[in-house]
Structure 1
Amino acid sequence: MVRVSRVVMKNVGEGITKTLSEILVCPLTKQPLRYCEKTGSLISDEIGVSFPIVDGIPRLVPKDGKILEDEELSKSGS
């Protein structure tokens, strides 16, 4: 199971699979996350926080999240 998870997570930079996007949620709001191709991170649109993906592994610890400014949030949405 761990091996399968690593393979799925390694491909996160290429686009999150539908199954993975259904599982991953914001650790703070429990709302779905959106993958931003430009920054290579997962965005919580609900609260405007970006969670980095390091070596194919999403860092969903709240302290690792970066609060996005309004202009960053609008740029990453397009």
Structure 2
Amino acid sequence: MRRTAALLSSHGGAGGRSIPQALAAVLVCPLSKKPLRYCEASGSLVSDAVGVSFPVVDGIPCLVPKDGRLLDDHQEKSEQDSSTGDSSG
């Protein structure tokens, strides 16, 4: 827990909907227990295993299963394309 708190405090300027990459790397889906992927286009955490998107509100991931949204096939593919295609910045 202390390591996670240190990661968050070292990324203090994470405002808005984004979250620190280090935090996104340790979060898992509450349903499948598989890693989540951060989608910058929608500002949400996506579980590719179950096709659910979890919102990030004020930099805080909402990982309660009832807060998740099911992704359409075309929406899921476009989010994957946008997150893998923009690896330069």
Taking the aligned partners of 1:3 and 1:71, their CA distance within structure 2 comes to: 36
User: Counterpart in 2 of 1:68?
Assistant: 71
Aligned structure 1 segments of 4 or more residues deviating by more than 4 angstroms:
1-6
**How many equivalent pairs are there?**
76
**How far did residue 68 of structure 1 move?**
0.2
User: Counterpart in 2 of 1:29?
Assistant: 32
Aligned CA distance change for structure 1 residues 10 and 60 (closer, same or farther; 3 Å): farther
Q: Pairwise CA RMSD of aligned residues?
A: 2.5
Taking the aligned partners of 1:21 and 1:14, their CA distance within structure 2 comes to: 7
Taking the aligned partners of 2:80 and 2:30, their CA distance within structure 1 comes to: 20
Unaligned runs of 5+ in 2: 82-89
Identical positions, percent:
47
Q: Which has the larger radius of gyration?
A: 2
What SS does the corresponding residue of 2:38 show, helix, strand or coil? strand
Q: How high is the TM-score relative to the length of structure 2?
A: 0.72
Unaligned runs of 5+ in 1: none
**How far did residue 13 of structure 1 move?**
1.1
Aligned CA distance change for structure 1 residues 3 and 46 (closer, same or farther; 3 Å): closer
Amino acid at match of 1:26: C
- Per-residue displacement from partner, 1:19-75 (whole Å, max 9, x unpaired)? x23420000000000000100000000010000000100000000000000000000
User: Counterpart in 1 of 2:52?
Assistant: 49
Contact 2:30 2:63 in 1 (8 A): yes
